[in-house]
Structure 1
């Protein structure tokens, strides 16, 4: 089973990972979406989200932009990060990922 976390703002991918309104959490089993829920993140603090999402059982992140330090911290939690995704609904992003059609590109926070 995979568990995706997607930072959202107004129901779509938020371009800045650490300042999203909510995280969509989508469970996938046998390449099918099995459950979707939303979690409010804790107050933004550098380095906090990788541990927090790891505690939620997240295995994959789909993001528009995310800092390099956060990517390293997610790797330490054995969480795979995909960056540069387009502002789509979380469900569509996960479906694109599963179909190997997820468009990703430049990290919007690569600074």
Structure 2
């Protein structure tokens, strides 16, 4: 199994589309056997979700995930946990113990807060895309 944790600096990204990088955890026999970090590509609609699929992820962890990415993940059979913030390692550990749960209310709060900050806190190329530039 591979788990993709969306990140900004060393913490879980509050919004999937605003992630700077992703850490892919490879799990074997219930244990983390490898961690690989990848910079996220320039953000375009649907590209991040496809990038995660190309990395072989079965599960995604993020603070919030937009509807388009959720739709893509649902169609690809990729499970996601939202409303999760803090340490990537701790979130993965909880997932492996069966203790990680999505917090839809927190994810919605994060998404609404991000909407109030000029859509999301995406990198400039994404803001230009959403503003039609």
Same fold (TM over 0.5): yes
- Judge conservation of contact 1:4–1:62 (CA < 8 Å) in 2: yes
**Cα RMSD between the aligned structures?**
1.5
Shift of the alpha carbon at 1:103? 4.7
* Regions of 4+ moved over 3 Å: none
1:44 aligns with 2:46: no
More strand by share: 1
Q: Separation in 2 of the partners of 1:21 and 1:42?
A: 9
| Unaligned ranges ≥5, structure 2 | 116-133
Number of aligned residue pairs: 109
TM-score (norm 1): 0.90
Q: TM-score with structure 2 length normalisation? A: 0.76
Is 1:64 the equivalent of 2:63? yes
Which ranges in structure 1 are unaligned for 5 or more consecutive residues?
Answer: none
Separation in 1, partners of 2:61, 2:6: 8
Rg: which structure is higher?
2
More helix per residue: 2
- Equivalent residue for 1:85? 84
Question: Could you tell me which residue of structure 2 aligns to residue 101 of structure 1?
Answer: 99
Q: Which residue of 1 aligns with 2:130?
A: none
Please say if 1:19 is aligned against 2:18. Answer: yes
